[in-house]
Amino acid sequence: MSEQYSSGPLAGITVVGLEQAISAPLCTRHLADLGARVIKVEQPGYGDSTRHYDTVVGGMSAHFTWLNHGKESAALDLKDPADLDVLRNLLAAADVLVSNLGPGALDRLGLGVDTLSRDHPRLIIVDISGYGKGGPQDHKRAYDLLIQAEAGSCSITGTPGHPAKPGIPIADIGTALYAYSAVLAALYDRERTGRGAVIPLAMLDTVAEMMGFALNQVLHAGTEPVPVGMGSPMIAPYGAYRTADDQVAVLGTTSDREWRRLAGLIGRPEVADDPRYAHNDDRVRCRAELDEMVGQWCATRSLADVQAEADAAGIGNARLNGVAELAVHPQLGARDRWRAVGTPSGPAPALVPPALAIGWPVRHGSVPALGADTAAIRTEFGTAAHTT
């Protein structure tokens, strides 16, 4: 095994990604971050669709660079029997398969999950789909926006009458993280039982789980949450407020105790014990008037003063940043949250993975060009006669 795959808690684990877009690639990238060898199987000549979104990272797309460093790329034509044999041999040697191909794609290749689990009982198979198998929508293609629309998350984002998709792809990312955690659990379980696992994972199920508090409100109170823009339908006061220096402070309360502290902070101690605002559900009903109180207080102070006074009072607060501010955020810089990863055009900055135990090495893998490792993969898992 090369030095590239000789360290990290998942060293020695081989992962095959029959993957595209975000959900499966983010899962396998996190496995690569922990030291797994990840072999990404792509369509020759085109590859993962996210390769072509833009060219901002030295000719590579922002999405692809984010999702695919630390992997090998094998451009295999799975309609070619020889390349399909390479994939079969690769799966026979692999520990994990993560796939998010379109509905029925694995079955059409003769690689359905039932067949794979029968032929490779130690293989851990993650089969990501939009809607899961069974039910009237299992045939449908699924993208992040479509699933968020189906699962209701857009209806509680934005403002009344103006639903909005969250700016980050929560259906894709949430599914990726569920897949990642399930793979780690399955690897642990295999150590005890010697058996792999089949893990069907539907994006709709992921977002439905994330909607748990809103579902409970509908199921138990019969009322739909009302979107409130920069805030929470379930908590008040809690939102974004313009300051005297034309910045935006974000602050609020998450408990009755915090509400009393906030009332003192904004110079309104008389409302701290007002029965109209006694509990959070009371305050939600009075959201507009409470937002006006907090907004008037913020409007007389600079952002720095708002944050200093809120910190002193024990009230959580933040500044509304753009992505440009995140890129130079002092907290990330001070904590060494950046690393350099390789790309075909040179090193590029990337964040250190969020979940690393103290002492685990940080993987600095490269983003592969399309098919960069095809020849080596064919040599290792195919026949010497089948060359590029």
> How confident is the model over 10-45, as pLDDT tens digits?
999 999 999 999 999 999 999 999 999 999 999 999
Q: Which domains does the chain have, with CATH numbers?
A: 3-210+333-381 (3.40.50.10540), 231-319 (3.30.1540.10)
The pLDDT score that the predictor gives to residue 251 is 96
Computed over every residue of the chain, the mean pLDDT equals: 94
**Would you say 32 and 64 are in contact if contact means Cβ atoms under 8 Å apart?**
no
**Would you say 187 and 174 are in contact if contact means Cβ atoms under 8 Å apart?**
no
**Reduced to 3 DSSP states, what percent helix, strand and coil does the chain have, rounded to the nearest 5?**
45, 15, 40
Q: How confident is the model at residue 180 (pLDDT cuts 50, 70, 90)?
A: very high
**Would you say 207 and 148 are in contact if contact means Cβ atoms under 8 Å apart?**
yes
Q: In this structure, what are the phi and psi dihedrals at residue 206, rounded to the nearest 5 degrees?
A: -60, -50
- pLDDT higher than threshold 90 for residue 387: no
Element (H, E) at 159: strand 158-159
* Structure tokens given for 258: 């915090």
- pLDDT higher than threshold 50 for residue 2: no
Indicate the SS3 state at residue 375. Answer: helix
User: pLDDT (tens digit, 9 = 90+) per residue, 142-179?
Assistant: 999 999 999 999 999 999 999 999 999 999 999 999 99
State the Cα–Cα distance between residues 223 and 203, nearest whole angstrom.
Answer: 25
User: pLDDT (tens digit, 9 = 90+) per residue, 280-321?
Assistant: 999 999 999 999 999 999 999 999 999 999 999 999 999 999
pTM of the shown model:
0.93
User: pLDDT (tens digit, 9 = 90+) per residue, 206-249?
Assistant: 999 999 999 999 999 999 999 999 999 999 999 999 999 999 99
